Amino acid sequence: MAAAEKAVGSGGGAGASAHMPEVRLYSSSEAEDESDDGAETALPAGEVREESLGLTVARVKSSGPLLLAKVDPGRPAAKACLIEGDELVEIGMQTVTHKDLMLIARLLAWPAGDERKVRLVQLSIHRGRSLQHVNIEQRATDTASTAAVTPPPLQDASAARGVKGRKPERQSNKDGRGAGGGEEDGFGGMANISAPTNVQKRASVTRDPVSGELVGVPKDWQKVPSSPKP
């Protein structure tokens, strides 16, 4: 274990970080058969959970390989085509096959003081007989230790008008007329109907049955020459 702790302190890019993944050591009942290594050099079984990547890395057997134990659907690890059962061998340029779980956690964590919004985490995995290199997109906002503040729900437009800027409705009488005596407009308000203005009397025009001439034609119209009869 002392050698593993030394690797944590001296490994490239494995310094202290602002957000650390969850590390959980397995109990003897959770771990599989113990390896043949000595007790002092054996690496404990356990898992590292990094929520921002949607990924859980586990060593199910003491001093055994590191496997992807859980890949959350729709998260960055799954979008990078990683699958459960892949064997993790490198993070960046650091070989992690026989490294302590705390080093794995620090390599997966967002680096302290890094002001970038997005970074790429490169993993090298064994899948079957092939070695594959995968880049996973990690966002700084997903690594925040505190829960994101949920914005208040959008208020319904009619409710918002009722809270601010809405004029009080006028009371109407039983006969359907408002307090001001006018007719209601059907929308809870009063229609602005004023008294008629500029009223003009229009005479009706008729045709004399004897002479055939138009009767009641305004004087201005009488000045207009009539069209010749066909």
Residue with tokens 């586990």: 58
Burial of 92 (0-12, 13-18, 19+ CB in 10 A): middle
Residues 48 and 20 sit within 8 Å (Cβ to Cβ): no
64 in a structural domain: yes
Could you read off the pLDDT tens digit of each residue along the chain, which spans 230 residues? 333 333 333 334 444 445 788 999 988 766 665 545 444 467 889 999 999 999 999 999 888 999 999 999 999 999 999 999 999 999 999 999 989 999 999 999 998 888 999 999 999 999 999 999 999 999 988 776 433 333 444 444 444 444 444 555 555 555 555 544 555 555 455 556 777 777 666 667 777 777 777 777 777 766 666 655 55
230 in a structural domain: no
Q: Among residues 105, 102, 120, which one has the least CA distance to residue 50?
A: 105
Residues 60 and 67 sit within 8 Å (Cβ to Cβ): yes
85 in a structural domain: yes
Residues 72 and 55 sit within 8 Å (Cβ to Cβ): yes
Query: CATH number of the domain that 17 lies in?
Result: 2.30.42.10
112 in a structural domain: yes
149 in a structural domain: no
Kindly give the interhelix angle for 101-108 and 2-10, rounded to the nearest 10 degrees.
Answer: 20
Rounded CA separation 47/26 (Å): 8
Going through the chain in order, the beta strands assigned E by DSSP cover 22-25, 46-50, 55-59, 66-71, 87-91, 94-95, 118-127, 130-139, 206-207, 214-215
pLDDT tens sequence across 124-143: 999 999 999 999 999 988 77
Cα 67 to its chain centre, rounded Å, is 31
175 in a structural domain: no
pLDDT tens sequence across 202-227: 667 777 777 777 777 777 766 666 65
The pTM for the full model equals 0.52
- Number of structural domains the chain divides into: 1
88 in a structural domain: yes
3-state SS of 181-219? CCEECCCCCECCCCCCCCCCCCCCCEECCCCCCEECCCH
- Residue 31 belongs to what domain range? 2-143
185 in a structural domain: no
User: Tokens representing 214?
Assistant: 């138009």
